[in-house]
Structure 1
Amino acid sequence: MEVLGIRCPGPRWAAHVNSSILRRFVDVRDEEVGAVRWSFLYFFTLMCGYAILRPIRNEMGTAGSVKGLDWLFTATFLVMLAAVPAFSALVSRWPRRVVIPRIYRFFLLNLLGFFVLLKLGVARETVARVFYVWLSVYNLFVVSIFWSFMADVFASGQSKRLFGFIAAGGTTGMLVGPFLVGRLAEPVGPVNLILISVVLLEVSAQCVRRLSGWAQDVQQQPAAAQGPVGGGVLAGLRLIVTSPFLLALGLQVLLYAATSTFLYFQEVRLVAALGSDAASRTALFGDIDFYVQLATLGLQTLVTGRVISWLGLGAGLAVAPVVTGLGFLGMAAMPVLTVLILFKAVRGASHYALERPSREVLFTTVDREARYKSKSFIDTVVYRGSDTVSAWLQGGLAKLGLGMTGLSLAAVPLAGLWLGVSLYLARHQRRQAEPVPAAAPEAPVSEEVAAR
């Protein structure tokens, strides 16, 4: 392309430069560049929208509108029990390019409804409780759908190289969302920020359309791989019960959620025991969460894909449970704020940068019905069920007089079991990925043997 006799670089050259920059962070092939960009944007908009909504929910809780969190956890679990069969019915009947955007637009309409109710000030306390439960369901559900779609679009070999970088899109969204809230909440108003999440959710729906087109045109996926999943509404639960692999995946999520709940209550007890100056501690924990996200982003963009490709899924899956076990032992020995902060930072980075992308790779080895139905059940019902049971269990142990040291030691065996399950899953995936050796030529069979 020439302008005033000067040859200028054209769109192809710009695309080549962008591809070269992208390859510094991820091992991506030429035909995958567009899909990786759309996937990154998809997860970014999804998580940025959620990160904008979360402070609105937290503000309601701080103002006293939301009370009885144990019961709200239980309500969230019950809503999950109803939502998962409904989702299974949809994916059984409609193709993914239709179902996923429609689900996102259903949530979009929900957001507009909350926006109107909050602006009008209608039954604020009731709306706050419903919004708390709704956002808990929304977060787990849309993220589960995202990873189901990723496992459906990318092959197993591609996922090992690309999922770490794609996951970084979500981490970036979790950084940008709070940044926007901090600067727009006062001049614009917290409730008006819901409209930004609405726009971001529509962008996510458009990304699904783009990636579906790429899977068909570039990935050459057959029509059957993009059509309805089929099967019954409760097929996801049936598959989990009958498949040791899916059962182990559910157990892995259950153990992660249980240890997360124990750590959360340890944090609450420790912070409460420190006494005054709550404002400075709140600011400190906010800074720690921010730096955890930064550390996670660095690992996801520079380390995750290489660790999974070079060392295997076993290493990626094992880091988080090992860190969790060591962290709880450290908390048992020294239940102090410094140990808690270090524990949270290392565990959070290892989970989001290594363990979660590695777990999503595992779903590329199962069929489509398991990817959408069983995965949604595991990511939502199992996760929130474990969260709810662990919350009540921790409260019961505390009432029995078990202090921070005892509760920390009680969580260590859970981390050990989590490690064992993770290594089993890695071995299973490795066996699934091994090429099947060619069958040896069969010896001639005599008529007598053939007749038996």
Structure 2
Amino acid sequence: MTSYYIIRPVRDQLGGAVGSQSLPMFYLVVFVVMLALTPVFGVLAARFRRKQLLGWSYCFFIACLLAFVPAFMAQDRIGARSLGVVFYVWVSIFNLFVVSLFWSFMADIFNGPQARSVFPLIALGGMAGAIFGPLVTKALVQTLGVAPLLVVSAVTLALALGVLLFLSGEQDRSGDRQGEPVGGSLWAGIKELVTKPFLRYMAVLMLLGDGIGTLAYALLADYSKAHFTDKVARTAFYNDLDLYTNLLGVALQLTVTRWLMIRRGAVAALVVTSLINLLLLAAIVVWGPGEVSGITLGLPLLAILTIGSRGFTYGMTKPASDALYTRVPRETRYKGKNFIETAVWRLGDVLVTSGVSLFGTLGVSVAGMAGVGVGVSVLATWVARQIGRAPDLAPETAAQPPVARRA
């Protein structure tokens, strides 16, 4: 997470340089690439052991980070738009694949009750990295510039890979058979989305939740383009948003999330996030997207929406949804989950950003778009409640100690 959040403001400032009108094109390219990579990941997961899958995947992204350094050193000659398309696509793929693969690995190690207890704590570690990353960017971007940040990001990702390989090796030495290749079809991720009710519910909920987040992101891109004229200022603005978002996520994981998941279950956490999004969008409908004296503390409501929706997504929805994947077979856990969190997610980005551009062309106000988001949040709340009733979701099992702790 430190690696990703070091380069996230770099990606976002490129989006802010061109505004929301270019986001549909960015996301369309990402979606097409994700579809092309789906069978590739299916082959890797089917044929390679877990340790090899982790190693090859992370090393590929480390090499790519280093390859982008000379391109950023020549950004003024290449142009923000041309470099922005390539880097935006790559970072979007990097984020989704690396994070999805990490949580699939976590779901291999822990069972359902354990996941409800420890996933918020693991996510808290991720949030610590997500806070440290923006702090690193904030400290270095003014003195080193943008390009050297990619090297720092590559180093932290290499450290993360080392820890994951160590954990996987410990599991293998303990006799855990979960490290074996998943097997099955290379197209299993797509097939399971069609045939598994649980995955269909998860895909719809993810699309609805991502729709709200992407709506806020697209509107904020226009705000950034209008208020910040250079790449350093835009990078600093998006860096601050990430910092506030992750502080909120940490606060949730330290207080509400773990208690809610243990006492009420993972589904309850999904419902709460949808209700929070509903309230934030309703506030924009009532007060508008700008600052509200005494309420927004100097930030526009759009920024508050972005911080709130992302903070609850990372601090509550993510550990809750990943805990549910401990109750499905390994092929679903890796291939089905990966397809939803990569290709389907980016399909939602394409649809939402295209809709925002269309609404803007038709003269629909920000408050009007937020009104549509309120309806989306109502539907997301209903879908979240249905996930726990999916017939193919295994019942909770009795808590057992993690395999790595056995003598």
Question: TM-score, structure 1 length as denominator?
Answer: 0.77
For the aligned residue pairs, the C-alpha RMSD in angstroms reads 2.9
Q: Per-residue deviation at 1:94? A: 0.5
Letter in 2 for 1:164: P
- Superposed, 1:378-417 pairs within 5 Å as 378-417=340-379
1:91 aligns with 2:53: no
The SS at the match of 1:433 is coil
For residues 24-423 of structure 1, the aligned pairs below 5 Å read 47-60=1-14, 68-119=22-73, 124-125=78-79, 126-217=82-173, 220-221=175-176, 223=177, 225-268=178-221, 287=240, 289-335=242-288, 336-337=290-291, 338=296, 339-423=301-385
CA-to-partner distance for each residue in 1:387-407, whole Å, 9 max, x for gaps? 111111122233233222322
For residues 195 and 425 of structure 1, the distance between their equivalents in structure 2, rounded to whole angstroms, comes to 41
Is the 2:16–2:222 Cα contact (8 Å) retained in structure 1?
no
CA distance in structure 2 between the partners assigned to 1:369 and 1:143 by the alignment:
17
AA at the equivalent of 1:190: V
For the residue of structure 1 that corresponds to 2:388, the secondary structure is helix
What is the CA–CA distance in structure 2 between the aligned matches of 1:108 and 1:344, rounded to whole Å?
Answer: 29
Task: Return the alpha-carbon distance in structure 1 between the equivalents of residues 381 and 354 of structure 2.
Answer: 24
Q: CA deviation at 1:168?
A: 1.4
The 1:159/1:429 distance shift into structure 2, 3 A limit, reads: farther
- Superposition deviation, residue 347 in structure 1: 2.9
Percent identity (aligned)? 31
User: Is contact 1:56-1:191 (8 Å) kept?
Assistant: no
Shift of 1:270: 6.5
After superposing on structure 2, the runs of 4+ consecutive aligned residues of structure 1 that deviate more than 6 Å are 63-67, 120-123, 275-279, 281-285
- Residue aligned with 2:68, SS: helix
Question: Could you tell me how far 1:362 is from its partner in structure 2?
Answer: 1.0
| Whole-angstrom CA distance in 2 between matches of 1:130 and 1:210 | 33
State the number of aligned residues. Answer: 384
**Alpha-carbon deviation of 1:374?**
0.7
The one-letter code matched in structure 1 to 2:244 is Y
By how many angstroms is 1:267 displaced?
3.8
Deviation of the 1:368 alpha carbon = 0.8
1:66/1:239 Cα in 2 relative to 1: closer, same or farther (>3 Å)?
A: closer
Q: Which amino acid aligns with 2:53?
A: V
Provide the secondary structure at the position in 1 that maps to 2:208: helix
159-168 or 421-430: bigger deviation: 421-430
Q: Which segments of 5 or more consecutive residues in structure 1 lack a partner in the other structure?
A: 1-46, 437-452
Following the alignment from structure 1 to structure 2, what is the Cα–Cα distance between the partners of residues 109 and 277? Answer: 32
Change beyond 3 A, Cα 1:183–1:417: same
Q: Which has the higher contact order (CA 8 A, sep 6+)?
A: 2
AA partner of residue 262 (structure 1): L
**Contact 1:115–1:191 (Cα < 8 Å) also in 2:** yes
* Residue identity in the other structure for 2:309: R
Shift of 1:138: 0.8
**TM-score using structure 2 length:** 0.85
Closer/same/farther in 2, CA of residues 434 and 96 from structure 1, 3 Å limit: closer
**Between 354-363 and 184-193, the greater mean CA deviation after superposition:** 184-193
**Rg larger for:** 1
Tell me if structure 2 keeps the 8 A contact 1:93–1:230. Answer: yes
Contact 1:254 1:382 (C-alpha < 8 Å) held by counterparts: yes
Question: 1:56–1:343: structure 2 CA closer, same or farther, 3 Å change rule?
Answer: closer
Give 1:340 deviation, angstroms: 3.7
Quote the Cα distance in structure 1 between the aligned partners of 2:30 and 2:370.
26
Instruction: Measure how far apart 1:214 and its partner are.
Output: 3.1
CA shift for structure 1 position 86:
0.7
CA distance in 2 between counterparts of 1:362 and 1:171 reads 20
**What amino acid is aligned across from residue 274 of structure 2 in structure 1?**
P
Distance in 1 separating the partners of 2:135 and 2:368:
38
CA shift in 2, pair 1:356/1:121, >3 Å: closer
Specify the code of the residue in structure 2 equivalent to 1:210. F
Counterpart of 1:248 in structure 2: which amino acid?
Y
Deviations 1:162-195 (A, max 9, x none): 1111111221112111211222234334212222
Corresponding residue for residue 401 of structure 2: none
TM-superposed deviation, 1:55: 3.0
Question: Are the equivalent residues in 2 in contact too, given 1:51–1:174 (CA < 8 A)?
Answer: yes
For residues 342 and 391 of structure 1, do their structure 2 counterparts lie closer, same or farther at Cα, with a shift above 3 Å needed?
closer
Secondary structure class of the residue paired with 2:380: helix
Aligned mates of 2:393, 2:127 — CA distance in 1 = 31
Q: Deviations over 1:207-265 (max 9, x none)?
A: 222211332345x52x2x21111111111110110111111111111111111122234
Indicate conservation of the 8 Å contact 1:65/1:128, yes or no: no
